[in-house]
């Protein structure tokens, strides 16, 4: 019994894995610092910066004014002059406050300086609905930033990936936006104590399958796995892929799966119209059109702001039942 306990894998909640990733970066990189609203004294609105001020001191952990443009501008300038900042954007919705800094400075400066300036900026931000935070604090806007050449964008949803991708992002000499999910903070998962990275640009086949492919990212990975269990009862053996990184996107893993299964569905929490799922569908038809036995299906949120009402919000966010319903239509079941 004692031996079994010793080799039992360590588990952490998602929020603690994020915190451990940030602390690992700060320990490994003396030029790294953290800046954002309430990250120092309050430990961040989600709690994953708790204790970081006491551990690394006020010269490396900064509470900023309530100015997202200033936060991103600080990150750009500091990175261009030799630091490796971790900047915090409390809600992804606040990209609207700093989009010029993100789109015209963060994404373009390395290109416009001919590579002479590096921009090792790691931005952590929170996306997703489900907490009744209403239309201005609940959006999934990954399609905005994936459209900007010069940025890398990842959406880790497991504790293991959260820690590993934060470390990988901070080691990259390009700006990386790590999109986290506020409704997954308590989700438990295995996380090694040592430092490790999850490579940016590599998808994860979470559940192998033989005759149906589901590509799901963010919190929708959990719903896709539930849907795969339900589809199994209908004789559908679904392969579930978590892209993890949206920019650059691992096209090869998705295409190879579709060539095997001949059918595909993409699931994301963002609004379906104009969402990143359309890009994935386009890549599938460009690379694997002759292998498809049905059009690529997409599941996303309706074309509406996120409602405040808990009942309406629950209806708004895609879930396993909606995935199964759409799959049955596609498969003619």
SS (H, E, C) 150-173: CCEEECCCCHHHHHHHHHHHHHCC
Helices and strands (H, E) in the chain, number of each type: 13, 14
User: At 8, is the pLDDT very low, low, confident or very high (cuts 50, 70, 90)?
Assistant: confident
Residue of 68, 97, 239, 313 marked catalytic: 68
Together in a domain, 140 and 245: no
Residue pLDDT, tens place only, 187-245: 999 999 999 999 999 999 999 999 999 999 999 999 999 999 999 999 999 999 999 99
* Integer-rounded Cα radius of gyration of the chain: 20
pLDDT, residue 1, reads 46
Together in a domain, 254 and 148: no
Number of domains the chain is built from: 2
CATH assignment of the domain containing 153: 3.40.50.970
315 catalytic, yes or no?
no
CB 66 within 8 A of CB 37: yes
| Torsion angle in degrees (nearest 10) through CA of 87, 90, 95, 97 | -100
Containing domain of residue 170, as a range?
9-190
262 catalytic, yes or no?
no
pLDDT greater than 50 at residue 33: yes
- Residue 86: strand pairing partners: 34, 122
C-alpha span between 241 and 224 (Å, rounded): 9
Residue of 20, 97, 101, 137 marked catalytic: 137
Together in a domain, 124 and 92: yes
* Residue 196: inside a domain: no
Residue pLDDT, tens place only, 57-77: 999 999 999 999 999 999 999
User: What pTM did the predictor assign?
Assistant: 0.95
Please, what's the largest Cα pairwise distance for the chain? 61
Together in a domain, 313 and 181: no
C-alpha span between 242 and 256 (Å, rounded): 14
Of residues 161, 203, 204, 158, the one with CA closest to residue 184 = 158
């Amino acid at each position: 019994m004692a031996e079994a306990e010793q080799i039992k894998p360590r588990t952490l909640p998602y929020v603690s894995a994020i915190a451990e990733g940030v602390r690992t970066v700060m320990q490994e990189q003396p030029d790294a610092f953290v800046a954002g609203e309430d990250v120092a004294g309050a430990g961040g609105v989600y709690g994953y910066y708790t204790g970081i001020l006491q551990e690394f001191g006020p010269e490396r952990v900064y509470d900023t004014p309530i100015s997202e443009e200033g936060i991103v501008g600080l990150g750009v300038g500091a990175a261009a002059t030799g630091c490796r900042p971790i900047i915090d954007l409390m809600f992804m919705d606040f990209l609207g406050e700093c989009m010029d800094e993100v789109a015209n400075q963060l994404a373009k400066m390395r290109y416009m300086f001919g590579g002479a300036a590096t921009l090792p900026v790691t931005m952590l931000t929170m996306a997703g609905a489900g907490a009744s935070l209403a239309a201005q604090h609940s959006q999934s806007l990954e399609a905005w930033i994936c459209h900007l050449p010069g940025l890398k964008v990842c959406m880790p949803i497991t504790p293991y990936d959260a820690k590993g991708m934060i470390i990988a992002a901070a080691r990259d000499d390009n700006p990386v936006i790590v999109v986290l999910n506020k409704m997954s903070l308590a989700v438990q998962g295995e996380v090694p104590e040592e430092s490790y990275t999850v490579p940016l640009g590599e998808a994860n086949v979470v559940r192998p399958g033989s005759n149906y492919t589901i590509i799901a990212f963010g919190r929708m990975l959990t719903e896709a796995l539930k849907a795969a269990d339900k589809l199994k009862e209908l004789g559908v053996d679904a392969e579930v892929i978590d892209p993890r990184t949206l920019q650059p996107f691992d096209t090869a893993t998705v295409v190879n799966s579709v060539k095997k299964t001949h059918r595909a569905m993409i699931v994301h929490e963002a609004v379906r119209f104009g969402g990143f799922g359309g890009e994935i569908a386009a890549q599938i038809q460009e690379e694997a059109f002759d292998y498809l036995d049905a059009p690529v299906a997409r599941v996303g949120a309706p074309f509406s702001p996120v409602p405040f009402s808990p009942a309406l919000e629950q209806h708004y966010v895609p879930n396993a039942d909606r995935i199964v319903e759409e799959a049955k239509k596609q498969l003619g079941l």
